[in-house]
Amino acid sequence: MMTDEIILRVEDIHKRYGENEVLKGVSFDVQRGETKVFIGPSGTGKSTLLRCINQLTVPDSGYIWLNGEEVTHAGPRINQYRQKIGMVFQNFNLFDHLTALGNVEIALLRVKKMNRQEARKKALMELEQVGLSDKVNSYPAELSGGQAQRLSIARALAMDPEVILFDEPTSSLDPELTREVLEVMRRLARNGMTMLIVTHEMGFALSVANEILFMEHGLIVEKGPPSEIPTSQNFTRTRQFLGSFQD
């Protein structure tokens, strides 16, 4: 599914909070259809990096390019770029006052300015994609964690994004529910969706990722295809991290 076309370019991103330099120059390219998985110790800037990509956090310096257009310094046009960059959060951030259908519809109506019928049709299709056809009229508080996360994936998908950012999408779910969410993500990867994923689910990461990027102290310190992790020199530090992870 992966093509040579570079869809997203992250170039020398720096970000500091006061004295705390969280990102110290992060760069990488993402090809269309690719799945990249970010791993690394807590507090190394993985979430900050994802938020810098869609400018929910504004980096101090560096550039983000989406299909060759600069996303950093976009001004009000950022709202157009954000439609193309979906985001799925650890704690879902569903709109609690709207039904499942409403959650998926709202941006179609308000941002894409679709009419009611179009939006509804599209939203129902996305809900079906993530297996929530029977929960269309349920409110977020009435859903299980796994259903809630699948709903938030449907909400992101409805915008027809070029790339989706996942920030620890299963970290607040128990194993049973984690499985159903990962299943949806696996299918997205198979269908050629471009995805950047921060996760601790190593089994999933190894089987789905085209590339694993190990971050530490605000830098990408090691990266490569998952098959190289067990043996390659490129992944010495990563192996150490994963080893300590299992104890």
Ligand X SMILES: Nc1ncnc2c1ncn2[C@@H]1O[C@H](COP(=O)(O)OP(=O)(O)OP(=O)(O)O)[C@@H](O)[C@H]1O
- The footprint of other proteins (CB under 8 A) covers 54, 56, 76, 79-80, 82-83, 85-87, 89, 91-97, 106-107, 110-111, 138-142, 145, 148, 152, 155-156, 159
User: Of 156, 170, 144, which Cα lies nearest the Cα of 103?
Assistant: 156
Instruction: Quote the CA–CA distance of 46 and 27 in Å, as a whole number.
Output: 13
Shortest gap between Cβ of 17 and other proteins (angstroms)? Answer: 15
Does residue 44 belong to the site contacting Mg ion (CB under 5 A)? no
Give the footprint of ligand X on this chain (CB under 6 A). 17, 20, 22, 42-48
User: Of 245, 172, 216, which Cα lies nearest the Cα of 38?
Assistant: 216
Q: Is the Cβ of residue 105 or residue 222 nearer to ligand X in the bound state?
A: 222
Q: Is the Cβ of residue 129 or residue 178 nearer to Mg ion in the bound state?
A: 178
Torsional class of 224: left (φ above 0), alpha (ψ -120 to 50), beta (otherwise): left
Shortest gap between Cβ of 110 and other proteins (angstroms)? Answer: 6
96 binds, among Mg ion, ligand X, other proteins, none (CB under 5 to 8 A by kind): other proteins
C-alpha distance from residue 57 to each of 54, 83, 185 (Å): 8, 16, 25
Answer whether 112's CB lies under 8 Å from 83's CB: yes
Answer whether 64's CB lies under 8 Å from 72's CB: yes
Shortest gap between Cβ of 71 and other proteins (angstroms)? Answer: 12
Shortest gap between Cβ of 40 and ligand X (angstroms)? Answer: 6
Does residue 47 belong to the site contacting Mg ion (CB under 5 A)? yes
Longest dimension (CA), the chain: 55
106 binds, among ligand X, other proteins, Mg ion, none (CB under 5 to 8 A by kind): other proteins
Instruction: Quote the CA–CA distance of 127 and 186 in Å, as a whole number.
Output: 16
144 binds, among Mg ion, other proteins, ligand X, none (CB under 5 to 8 A by kind): none
Q: Is the Cβ of residue 89 or residue 108 nearer to ligand X in the bound state?
A: 89
